[in-house]
Copies of this chain bind each other. A is one copy, B any other.
Amino acid sequence: MLSSERQLVSFLGERFSWSAPGVRLGIGDDAAVLAPPGAPIVVSVDASVDGVHFDLGYLTHQDVGYRAFQAAVSDLAAMGAEPLAALSALVLPRQLSSDAIDQLTAGQALASRETGCPVVGGNISRGGELSLTTTVIGRALEPIQRRGARPGEQIWLVGDVGLAAAGLSFLRLQHSRRARGWGSSSGASARLLASEAALAPCVDAWRRPRARLAEGLALVGRASAAIDLSDGLAADARQLADASGVRLVIERERLRAALSPALWVAQAQLRRSALRFALSGGEDYALLATGPSARRPDGAVPIGHVELGRGAFLDEGDRLTLLRGGFDHLKR
């Protein structure tokens, strides 16, 4: 059965198992590595489909273009690669207005400039549902793979986690309140406005994520493994643990200490656990890496350690909890 993304990826890994001399690393990492004469080339593709990866009720077309592009480039960041170029394949429903196309591509163009990753080609097609499929090509002398983590190393968090999930959670709450007419009471209305200001950093993190390119480059020669946090800390830590054949233990108190003040505000306002946002929430595009403590770069915050064993765990002081859950695009 091919019911989970993981099963399908593994199936495809076997289906497409043959390789060629120019391929250094194939299916299964953040990006593949090609090795033509000269520097290794790193390539990855990421799709953003209406109703699956984004909801135009909460995002403008410009947001959609921007975040689809940044999400794709984030895979280069996780490999410690520099962007060379991108290709953009758009499926545009007939009813999509010229203005919407203008905004969508303006968002892509903004992200393209910000990431230093020029769009050099693409494909345009009609179709029933809007989608953006972005291929990114980068260059990396020493690509950081998922499989290098070793027992005794630290786990590093680079960038904030949980904010995007808190931002989306607030937007949904706001939407359901408005739909139920709560906005008509001036007290509730004022509270909503107050939340809006307090939660702006979270909403912004979700609407306008940023690929951590400089941070990824800073990991080169220091980190033993890295992955970008697109599906949530728990799920992605498990992916890295599986790829490396080790156990990742995230220490709760260290993780709590690493969380952004904005996430504590979100916890108070939304009455949902900051830790849960951090562990289960995806789409932050922070980086998770491992490496020896002596090599930790500035900006990488230690949140746990690597052990012999398997799987990803949360060390809660008195007990060790297996990290399950996380995000599977096929199961949504």
> Using a CB–CB distance below 8 Å, which chain A residues touch chain B?
1-2, 5, 8-9, 11-12, 15-16, 18-20, 22-23, 25-29, 31-32, 34, 36-39, 41, 43-47, 49, 51-53, 84-85, 87-89, 91-92, 98, 101-102, 105-106, 108-109, 112-113, 116-129, 131, 133, 135, 137, 139, 329-330, 332
Contact = CB atoms under 8 A, between A and B. Distances in A.
Contacts of A43: 85, 87, 120-121, 135, 137
Contact of A45 (B12, B135, B330): B135
Given A1-B98, A43-B120, 11 more contacts: A11-B101, A12-B88, A16-B88, A18-B113, A22-B85, A28-B121, A32-B85, A52-B126, A91-B131, A127-B131, A128-B128
Contact of A87 (B5, B28, B32): B32
A121 B31 contact: yes
A87 to B, nearest CB: 4
B34 A84 contact: yes
Contacts of A87: 32, 43-45, 135
B47 A84 contact: no
A120 B91 CA distance: 23
- Chain A residues touching B, majority SS: mixed
A118 B36 CA distance: 14
B45 A329 contact: no
A126 B329 contact: yes
Nearest to A117: B20
A117 to B, nearest CB: 8
4 nearest A-B residue pairs (beta carbon): A38-B38, A32-B120, A16-B119, A32-B121
A39 B37 CA distance: 6
A132 to B, nearest CB: 10
B85 A118 contact: no
Given A16-B119, A38-B38, A39-B36, A127 B126 contact: no
A111 to B, nearest CB: 11
11 contacts: A12-B122, A20-B116, A22-B84, A22-B139, A44-B121, A45-B123, A47-B89, A52-B127, A89-B89, A91-B131, A125-B330
A136 to B, nearest CB: 10
A192 to B, nearest CB: 32
* Residue of A20, A120, A330 contacting most chain B CB atoms (<10 Å): A120
A313 B97 CA distance: 34
